Structure 1
Amino acid sequence: MDPTTPTAWGDAEARRRDILRAASNLLESSGYAGLTMRAVAEGAGVSAGTVYQYFDGKEDVFLALMAARLENICTTVDTIDRTLGVAGLLREILPQVRELWRLFGRSAQQWEAKVLAGGRQGRPATMSAAVFRRTIRSLERALRETAAADGRTLVDHPAMPHWVWDSLIGVADDLVQGGSRQARVSAERLVTFATEAIERGIVDS
């Protein structure tokens, strides 16, 4: 749908998309601190009361944005060509992980502490946690299928996909912060080194 097209009265799903689009723009321009319900309402062209019809507060808006990004990553993981090799698969995923981290950054750690560690358990929190777990399961399945297509197997350990995810977040953080560039290592060389190192770390010898 064209974002410039006015949302029809009564189109609840489109209104929700308008609110989330405005929230995403705010998060990108002003960070989590700028994600106020009033600012979201202004960006979406609705009243603050309308925003509260869809979300209980800024934290619920944040959770919905996080879940949407994770859903996109999950879809990508499910559809990636399994003949790319493990490192190649990780390189395909990394741009979206980088964007997730660029947008949510340190706030993602707050989300992890509150949601994944068994804290706040309202409906939005439960949904975003479920999407994250589905993403991890999809990542593990994709990694194993990709390794199998290459005649290899991966280590059999429940922590494996979580370690891979955390490793990708670490690479994403470096790409966002430009740490490797300060050491005169190009982003391309960093990504190649990191994804190949992750592959070596999870292939069963």
Structure 2
Amino acid sequence: MNRSRPATQWGDRDQRRIDILRAGEELLRSGGYAALRMRDVADGAGISLGTVYTYFATKENLFIGVFAEHVLRMTERLRPRLEEASDFVEVFTAAANEYRDGYPVFGRQFDALALVETADALQPAVEQGLRDATAGLIGALGEALVRAGYEGDLRPAMAVLWSEVTGLANHYTTERREFLDVSWDEAVAFAARTLGRGLGIVDPAEGRT
């Protein structure tokens, strides 16, 4: 754990929350969800255990908070690439590559979004933070889809697109990748062309061999 971070001034609630989230993410990256122990988070943030609980009532809430911040940063990195994309294949490829990078830490550790559907599982502020972060990412992808030429209902299109991205990330960051002799780049390119043709925004002749 990095202990060299300058101490946050008492009363700076926003920065203290950031300290907690950073400490939590360090633990997740080093040891996965099992390593996300509240006492270790307190040590990493340089605060008391009780103070951690005033921000995040449970380990699950803390994980969701860290995950939401990850989604916000992912959207910030992805948005300029989506805006510069010349077609749907580039949009899909950028999204798939960005999502895969964080999947070993977040996607495989815990089904974060499932908690949103469980009554009283999340603190209201934590749940809203997750919803806002997710909406920002989906919105950026939806805008890119429209720029690529899609004119249909965005809801089912986004559901399929996100399922494809998630499925590819899951396959290529687990032992499942050993079952098929297909590279990540080849699979992503094929998925992008196939999905694009299904959405009517990729020329049916593109990518044929």
The TM-score with structure 1 as length reference comes to 0.82
Describe the SS at the equivalent of 2:103: helix
Quick one: structure 1 residues 173 and 132, their matched pair in 2 at CA, closer, same or farther if it must change by over 3 Å?
A: same
Quick one: structure 1 residues 101 and 56, their matched pair in 2 at CA, closer, same or farther if it must change by over 3 Å?
A: same
Contact 1:77 1:93 in 2 (8 A): yes
2:193 to 180, 193, 196: 196
Does 2:94 align with 1:92? yes
The answer for unaligned runs of 5 or more in structure 1 is: none
Q: How far 1:181 moved relative to its partner? A: 4.4
Q: How far 1:79 moved relative to its partner? A: 2.3
CA distance, structure 2, for counterparts of residue 83 and residue 134 of structure 1: 18
Of stretches 173-182 and 46-55 in structure 1, the one that deviates more from structure 2 is 173-182
Q: How far 1:178 moved relative to its partner? A: 4.7
The answer for unaligned runs of 5 or more in structure 2 is: 205-209
Q: How far 1:185 moved relative to its partner? A: 1.8
Of stretches 26-35 and 75-84 in structure 1, the one that deviates more from structure 2 is 75-84
Of stretches 193-202 and 31-40 in structure 1, the one that deviates more from structure 2 is 193-202
Give the equivalent residue in structure 1 for 2:158. Answer: 161
CA distance, structure 2, for counterparts of residue 5 and residue 113 of structure 1: 33
Give the equivalent residue in structure 1 for 2:168. Answer: 171
Map 1:179-194; keep pairs closer than 5 Å. 179-194=176-191
Q: How far 1:124 moved relative to its partner? A: 0.4
Map 1:38-117; keep pairs closer than 5 Å. 38-80=39-81, 81-109=83-111, 111-115=112-116, 117=117
Amino acid at match of 2:66: L
Quick one: structure 1 residues 41 and 8, their matched pair in 2 at CA, closer, same or farther if it must change by over 3 Å?
A: closer
Quick one: structure 1 residues 3 and 203, their matched pair in 2 at CA, closer, same or farther if it must change by over 3 Å?
A: farther
CA distance, structure 1, for counterparts of residue 88 and residue 133 of structure 2: 23
Q: Deviations over 1:57-96 (max 9, x none)?
A: 2122111111112112333443223443111112112232
How large is the RMSD of aligned CA atoms in angstroms?
2.5
Describe the SS at the equivalent of 2:181: coil
1:142 to 141, 144, 153: 144
The TM-score with structure 2 as length reference comes to 0.81
CA distance, structure 2, for counterparts of residue 101 and residue 3 of structure 1: 26
CA distance, structure 1, for counterparts of residue 167 and residue 26 of structure 2: 24
CA distance, structure 2, for counterparts of residue 66 and residue 18 of structure 1: 14
Q: Deviations over 1:91-143 (max 9, x none)?
A: 1122321133211234442x22221x363352201221232123222211111
CA distance, structure 1, for counterparts of residue 37 and residue 5 of structure 2: 24
**Number of residue pairs aligned between Structure 1 and Structure 2:** 197
Identity over aligned pairs, percent:
28
CA distance, structure 2, for counterparts of residue 180 and residue 192 of structure 1: 16
Amino acid at match of 1:28: R
